Structure 1
Amino acid sequence: MKLSPITLTGIVISMVTGVALGISGHSWWLTERSESDHARAFDEVLSQVQLNYVEEVGRDELMDQALRGMLDGLDSYSDFLDTSDFNDLQAETTGQFGGIGIELGKVDDAFTVITPLDGTPASRSGLRSGDRIVAVDQQELKTGSKLIDVVHALRGEVGSKVNVTFQRGDEAPKTATLTRAVIEVASVRGRLLEPGFGYIRISQFQTTTSEDFANLLAELGSEHKLNGLVLDLRNNPGGVLQASVDVADALLKDGLIVYTEGRLPSSHLRYRASGRDLLKGAPIAVLINQGSASAAEIVAGALQDHGRAMVLGNTSYGKGSVQSVLPLSGQRALKLTTSYYYTPHGRSIHEMGIEPDLIVDEAGNVADQNAPIVDEALAALKREHQNRLHARL
């Protein structure tokens, strides 16, 4: 299965000095062209395309396509980001960007909705995780289409309309007309389900998520001591790695949160809890589904491995690799897979996902705070709270 979400999912921003890949004046493949058959073939193909292709194609466009092709051969997450792509990616980390409000991925060569973001045109239109987009504005999406090109087709001027044709399972394709909007994602929101039991939904992990989470947790516990928390990570596509580590740290007393390993020693990182445990051991129920990915899986996996939370829902997406964003010259960047991450017990969830402790099938609007799965989680928290009270007698 090939998986390639386009929005930020577990990305580490890695600033490098100089020019990444050693590009300075002449590229390495040009300086060694006389000694490399591959470099010679590349130069010949480039010349033939410019001379003989049926339509005129600029050299810069061909070079960008060549760079993307190099990275496409590595995995589904690595990519070359031109100036526009790099700006889009930076905007997504702050929680504001234009579009229809979905995370789009390529799953088995189909352009698939990984997550419709809460409160966006996509979520209001009824698009769901797993829906396959087959056409944009009546233009059929070909198997060889680039994910980034589909994203650009979906984005556009705020207030303009776009027709999205999608297929759900074996049903006939349907077309929804969406009005593009500035997508502002408030990553943390919540409420008291009843005195002593809180509900917090994290829709994605942004740079301010961990601080917002801690503040909301304190607010919910200001009137009544919290005896349990429902942490809703359904349809959370991930985001900033450090933000997910900080949220897990806020709920753990000690131990390993996540670790990463790659080919280079610098990719071998360990993230440990600092002893905060803002809930003081009160039980937690974590909600996940097939739209929960990357950073969301880090939190769910850490809490599950430490026995700190019961995980309810359906198997998560299974995105267990870390991409580093390496800036290049000309306001461009390289997004490169540099490591895999593992849960505290050494589980790699890449293309496997987090298995819930209790499978709860969901229906209707995933963003509904009154969904049956929330009631199921609340009931589990109350049972655990009562069991602990009886154990103290």
Structure 2
Amino acid sequence: MSFRLSLAILLALGGTSAWAQQTPEQEQAREVGSSDDPDAAETAPAKVPLEEIRRYVAVFNAVKDAYVEPVQDKDLMQSAIRGLLLDLDPHSTYFDKDDAAAFDEQSTGAYDGIGVELLQQPDNTLRVISPIDDTPAAKAGIKAGDVITAIDGKPISGKDGMEPLRGEPGSSITLTLVREGTPKPFDVSLTRQTIRIASVRSRLLEPGYGYLRISAFQTDTAADFQKHIDRLQAGGKLRGLVLDLRSNPGGLLLAAVQVADELLDKGTIVSTRGRISISDSKFEATPGDRLAGAPVMVLVDAGSASAAEVLAGALRDNQRARVIGSRTFGKGSVQTVLPLDNGDSVKLTTARYYTPSGRSIQASGIVPDVVLHPDGEDQPASLADYSEAKLPGHLRGDEEDQEGYVAGDVLDGDKPIDAALAELKKKVAVSAPTPGRQTR
């Protein structure tokens, strides 16, 4: 299948990204500042503020001359550059060459580490967005919303806080965690391994009813989705499918669009809009529904973010699926990775994305059609603040101030799957044609 892509650069949502290339439009945008066209003001970069540059140089020299210990020029400049992006939003950041390579390799689903999606917070601690299925982090019981405060007993450095999590397969690491509802910090020991993430898994729940889980959106996710759907239907057409996107932190937007296109015959999948025209794009579905119209129930929770929200929103807005679970994370912003001449890169928020109905879910998330809550002893630690809206410095959303906003829950275990199957059967029963009276 194919789809229309009007953006000249590949966009990335969530923890992984494709590399963006400079385009003629981008080069032209850089030169707009010299134009006399008054309409160019919004897209033209502002002139360098010389007074502010002088102030920066004064502070730089003060640190160089008077700080208690010598500081290298390179280190000061790196800190200044990172500070330039720090207060924009939680997802814009600067990558040196090693950081960029580590970030990019996640899209292939293979790296050495513990298998967890993280967000570094202003106090340098690391908040867990989600552990990745079948990795050391997941097996050790690390949960979405946990906060890592120390690694091997050492406080986390603001400069390279995530780097110590990586290491040789077989080597050990101890994390100090803070979990809401647990009175004291506690340690968890893990053994690093080569993480080869199979982003798609599936099985039959009952004859005719399939279950397919997507844990992240990677380069091969769409192709694997096709294979799993075909395998589920090897014995005959499915009557319905539970599509599990719980604690899916996102990934490649392109992969989410391709999966949506596999289930849609027509309609808009997602659109993006930013300050400059090159950030605007629109993805349209092409004919061909791999499930031939069989009902779909999309299972989400508070850990479903970014590209996972794109897929859930696309299927619901096109009346192709119902959504069950808990309010999603609410990451409705688009990040573009811009390579620099020296081999480093800037990951910059360049646009918001919009569901087919034209709604931005930035900082508000997707509210399911059927809401589920964790129950009994299976309930994870309370995550009342686990959402994009609670991240310091987050990009404000169009519907952020809606009355009665409550962040979603993380839904673990098989009970949500059972609930989704029950709702799916109701949908199948309603959709089934009523046999007509036969006459001769």
2:96 to 77, 82, 99: 82
The 3 A distance-change label for structure 1 pair 383 and 7 is closer
Aligned residue number for residue 45 of structure 1: 59
1:259 to 265, 268, 271: 271
Aligned residue number for residue 272 of structure 1: 284
Q: Distance in 2 between matches of 1:282 and 1:324?
A: 35
Deviation at 1:44, TM superposition (A): 2.6
Q: Is this contact kept in 2: 1:67–1:80, CA < 8 A?
A: yes
Deviation at 1:12, TM superposition (A): 5.3
Q: Is this contact kept in 1: 2:337–2:346, CA < 8 A?
A: yes
Q: Distance in 2 between matches of 1:311 and 1:238?
A: 17
Q: Distance in 1 between matches of 2:62 and 2:254?
A: 47
Deviation at 1:39, TM superposition (A): 1.6
Aligned residue number for residue 374 of structure 1: 417
Q: Is this contact kept in 2: 1:288–1:311, CA < 8 A?
A: yes
Q: Is this contact kept in 2: 1:10–1:322, CA < 8 A?
A: no
Aligned residue number for residue 72 of structure 1: 86
The 3 A distance-change label for structure 1 pair 213 and 255 is same
Q: Which amino acid aligns with 2:19?
A: I
Match status 1:16 vs 2:26: no
Match status 1:135 vs 2:135: no
Please list the CA deviations of residues 129-167 of structure 1 after superposition, one character each: whole Å capped at 9, or x if unmatched: 1112222222245xxx53x62211322232221111112
The 3 A distance-change label for structure 1 pair 182 and 57 is farther
Q: Distance in 1 between matches of 2:63 and 2:193?
A: 39
Q: Distance in 1 between matches of 2:23 and 2:260?
A: 32
Aligned residue number for residue 58 of structure 1: 72
Q: What secondary structure sits across from 1:329 in the alignment?
A: coil
Q: Distance in 2 between matches of 1:386 and 1:199?
A: 18
2:192 to 154, 176, 180: 180
Stretches of structure 1 that go unaligned for 5 or more consecutive residues are 1-5, 23-31
Deviation at 1:106, TM superposition (A): 4.3
Deviation at 1:388, TM superposition (A): 2.1
1:234 to 242, 246, 252: 246
Aligned residue number for residue 164 of structure 2: 153
Deviation at 1:124, TM superposition (A): 0.5
Q: Is this contact kept in 2: 1:258–1:341, CA < 8 A?
A: yes
Alignment of 1:179-198 (within 5 A): 179-198=191-210
Deviation at 1:114, TM superposition (A): 0.7
Q: Is this contact kept in 2: 1:252–1:276, CA < 8 A?
A: yes
Q: What secondary structure sits across from 1:250 in the alignment?
A: helix
Q: Is this contact kept in 2: 1:162–1:180, CA < 8 A?
A: yes
Tell me the TM-score normalised to structure 1 length.
0.88
1:306 to 308, 311, 318: 318
Q: What secondary structure sits across from 1:298 in the alignment?
A: helix
Aligned residue number for residue 177 of structure 2: 166
Q: Is this contact kept in 1: 2:108–2:218, CA < 8 A?
A: yes
Q: Which amino acid aligns with 1:186?
A: A
Q: Distance in 2 between matches of 1:295 and 1:342?
A: 12
Match status 1:95 vs 2:83: no
Q: Distance in 2 between matches of 1:355 and 1:7?
A: 20
RMSD: 2.6
Aligned residue number for residue 202 of structure 1: 214
Deviation at 1:112, TM superposition (A): 1.5
Please list the CA deviations of residues 10-49 of structure 1 after superposition, one character each: whole Å capped at 9, or x if unmatched: 7453211699998xxxxxxxxx99x812222222322332
Q: Which amino acid aligns with 2:153?
A: Q
Q: Is this contact kept in 2: 1:12–1:323, CA < 8 A?
A: no
Q: What secondary structure sits across from 2:361 in the alignment?
A: coil
Q: Which amino acid aligns with 2:226?
A: A
Q: Is this contact kept in 1: 2:264–2:287, CA < 8 A?
A: yes
Aligned residues: 373
Q: Distance in 2 between matches of 1:8 and 1:184?
A: 18
Please list the CA deviations of residues 317-345 of structure 1 after superposition, one character each: whole Å capped at 9, or x if unmatched: 11100000011122211111110001111
Q: Is this contact kept in 1: 2:13–2:335, CA < 8 A?
A: no
Aligned residue number for residue 386 of structure 1: 429
